[in-house]
Amino acid sequence: MNAVNHDVGLAVARVALELERTRDALAVGLQAFHNGQRLQGARATDVGPGGRRGTTGSGRLVGWSLRAVGGALAVTLRDSRDDSGEVLATINLAADATHTVWLGPGGISFSEGVRIVQSGAGTLEGAIYTGAVD
């Protein structure tokens, strides 16, 4: 009787591990889609006038292309849904200067989202590039 219980216990443990593995695989797969289309590369998020102040959810920051129009700007990218999260990058832009960075496919992981915090006299234009969760 003990051997049967032991075998059943092992089978249940294997099923639980397989379900966890499947759940993780589905979560990764679902992160790689947007509007029903599979993402093949980085996703650009417009951060200019009328654009968003960042993204929400987890992913990878893989780059940015930013420009300060009409005045200098200090830009901080944070792993946060507000202005107080961990700093991912800081970018100082002179008036009418651009700054473009590609971090490669690995990028920098974030868990809450990428929040763009800016200060200065200029207006921010451009995009940040994010990739799906691995």
CATH number at residue 69: 2.60.120
Domain presence at residue 95 = yes
Q: What is the pLDDT of residues 82-99, one digit of tens each?
A: 888 999 999 999 999 999
Please check whether residues 99 and 46 belong to one and the same domain.
Answer: yes
Tell me: pLDDT of 29 over 60: no
Please check whether residues 27 and 80 belong to one and the same domain.
Answer: no
| Torsion over CA: 6, 9, 14, 15 (sign) | positive
The two tokens of residue 86 are: 């961990």
Q: pTM for this structure?
A: 0.70
The SS3 of residue 67 is strand
Please check whether residues 70 and 100 belong to one and the same domain.
Answer: yes
DSSP H/E element including 92 = strand 86-93
Quote the pLDDT of residue 104: 86
Domain presence at residue 36 = no
Q: What is the DSSP letter of 97?
A: -
Domain range for 16: 2-31
How sure is the predictor about 24, in pLDDT bands with cuts at 50, 70 and 90?
low
**Count of CB atoms within 10 A of residue 112's CB?**
17
Domain presence at residue 47 = yes
